[in-house]
Amino acid sequence: MSRIKTIETRDMQKSVKTGGCGECQTSCQSACKTSCGVANQKCENADK
Amino acid sequence: MVHCYKLNGYNIVLDTCSGSVHSVDEVAYDIISMYKSNTAEEITEYILKKYKDQPDVNADEVKECLGDIAELEKQGKLYSEDVYENLAIDFKNNSNVVKAMCLHVAHTCNLNCSYCFASQGKYQGDRALMSFEVGKQAFDFLIANSGTRKNLEVDFFGGEPLMNWDVVKQLVEYARQVEKQHNKNFRFTLTTNGVLLDDEIIDYLNKEMCNVVLSLDGRQSVHDHFRKYYNGKGSYEDIVPKFKRLVEKRGGKDYYMRGTFTHNNVDFTEDILHMADLGFKELSMEPVVCAPGDPYALTEADLPKLFEQYEKLAVEMIRRKKAGNGFTFYHYMIDLTEGPCIYKRITGCGSGTEYMAVTPWGELYPCHQFVGDPKYSLGDVWKGVTNKAAQDEFRSCNAYARPECKDCWAKLYCSGGCAANSYHATGKISGVYEYGCELFKKRMECAVMIKVAEAEE
């Protein structure tokens, strides 16, 4: 693919089966307190 | 759904539902933009005409690129289907777990910042300090309602939590005593204005808090404009040396230097760079939360300037990282390979369900930004959640709850946005704070661009 470079990303579809443990940090506990961003939280599921 | 944008010389294609990111050249960018609404013949004709002066762009090349796009579509990395809507509803309905608390140990403050969303720590109510007994009951409530969750989060918040320091220490000690017997792991955060920091407090925070949030608005003139003592003196000179000492002694553990920008400093990148130049490396800067009529409220006319600032910040961060003096900006942290699963991305921040705020009197609210609003009083730490109707409103918040978000490329990055921002902007938590959406989308574009830039190196 000479014109398209795909950056490695987590497979969202696969995470339907492997995700949902709920152990990751609640987003407002880190720094923002006034907005909602979920994409910058770390995944804590060792079995993903 | 795909989102195509150009930033800092990169052509970027985000595939919303798979989370895939592609860095493409101009020809592929045009083809991807046209792919779903035009035939192969129409695309080929357009591309050959547009790029007629480029000999490498011929019919075979266009055909190859169309084939690559078809292959990515087949792999689920382009134009992937949105199949997550029902997951969000089921996931939140099936969970009654509480796992995080914003513990308001002090509804009072030693600073008198006029822009404070918590009205100088009082939250439109009386000044108060939380007793150990109330805090202990809050911890017991959290443990009892946390189900199988191991990691429990408590943010000591205010007002200024260091004004109730003895109770903070007693509560940490209590949690450390009981966490093992319940197979829990308490993670503490404390948010402070820095005024009361001393060596004893710094050492304790660095030992017990997995994160500390330090409030600094940036340049001294900007910081001191709002962050003043009751006698009118700015706090910058007092707190910066204390913050430096805390971070020096922190041993690499997490912290955030967190600021607020307003209409008065739309050039907020200068404030972030000021923090970085002071030696702080974990930085956050948030738009002010206030009524639209406040003199320091961000305006529509500010928006293009703010976009420019976010882009300038991203470019400068790339430059500094290459030069060996990089820093982190909270909103540009995005881990494309090890980031959150789809459940995290669609269920939102958890306010009112897995996350609650506790007042000094033990009342429960959906989050710190709803404290003091009787409509959203959920119950208390003794009886638990009794206002089920209010909680159900929050349970229904997710990336698919708002019709306005249906076709938004960013919905799996913001998960539908902040309920408090929606409430304050529209009067309902199911509304949309469009101004915040615009800023959020720009931040995500910048965050992904930084990742693309790193991958292209």
Q: What is the mean pLDDT of residues A17-46?
A: 82
Q: Does B417 touch chain A (CB under 8 A)?
A: yes
Q: What is the mean pLDDT of residues B159-168?
A: 98
**What residues of chain A lie within 8 A of the CB of B436, using their CB?**
35
pLDDT tens, residue by residue, B48-62: 999 999 999 999 999
Q: Mean pLDDT for chain B?
A: 96
Closest Cα in chain B, distance from residue A46 (Å): 10
**What residues of chain B lie within 8 A of the CB of A39, using their CB?**
334, 339-340, 345, 412-414, 444, 447
Using CB atoms within 10 A of its CB, is residue B357 exposed (0-12), middle (13-18) or buried (19+)?
buried
Q: Does B259 touch chain A (CB under 8 A)?
A: no
**What residues of chain A lie within 8 A of the CB of B77, using their CB?**
6
Instruction: Give Cα separations from B282 to B40, B157, B211, B330 (angstroms).
Output: 48, 19, 11, 7
Closest Cα in chain B, distance from residue A6 (Å): 4
Contact A8 B368 (CB under 8 A): no
Q: Which residue of B has its CA nearest to A19?
A: B341
**What residues of chain B lie within 8 A of the CB of A34, using their CB?**
117, 260, 286-287, 289, 369, 418, 420-421
* Strands B100-107 vs B128-129: parallel, antiparallel or unpaired: antiparallel
Q: What is the mean pLDDT of residues B269-279?
A: 98
Which pLDDT score is estimated for B457?
84
Q: Which residue of A has its CA nearest to B87?
A: A16
Q: What is the mean pLDDT of residues B15-28?
A: 96
Q: Does B213 touch chain A (CB under 8 A)?
A: yes
Which pLDDT score is estimated for B32?
98
Which pLDDT score is estimated for B113?
95
Q: Does A14 touch chain B (CB under 8 A)?
A: no
Smallest Cα–Cα separation from B132: which of B186, B90, B168?
B168
d(C-alpha B357, C-alpha B363), whole Å? 8
pLDDT surpasses 80 at A34: no
Residue B292 CB neighbour total at 10 angstroms: 10
Contact B341 A9 (CB under 8 A): no
Smallest Cα–Cα separation from B179: which of B169, B168, B171?
B171
pLDDT tens, residue by residue, B140-162: 999 999 999 999 999 999 999 99
pLDDT surpasses 80 at B172: yes
Q: What is the mean pLDDT of residues B18-39?
A: 97
Which pLDDT score is estimated for A48?
64
Which pLDDT score is estimated for A35?
76
- Band the pLDDT of A25: cuts 50, 70, 90: confident
Smallest Cα–Cα separation from B450: which of B335, B367, B278?
B335
Q: What is the mean pLDDT of residues A13-19?
A: 89
pLDDT surpasses 90 at B273: yes
pLDDT tens, residue by residue, B84-116: 988 877 777 778 899 999 999 999 999 999 999
* ipTM, interface predicted TM-score of the complex: 0.93
Instruction: Give the CA-trace dihedral at B93, B95, B97, B99, to 10 degrees.
Output: -90
Instruction: Report if pTM > 0.90.
Output: yes
Q: What are phi and psi of B38, to 5 degrees?
A: -140, 155
For chain B, give the percent of residues with pLDDT over 70: 100
Q: Does B412 touch chain A (CB under 8 A)?
A: yes
Which pLDDT score is estimated for A33?
79
* Strands B379-380 vs B384-385: parallel, antiparallel or unpaired: antiparallel
Q: What is the mean pLDDT of residues B43-50?
A: 98
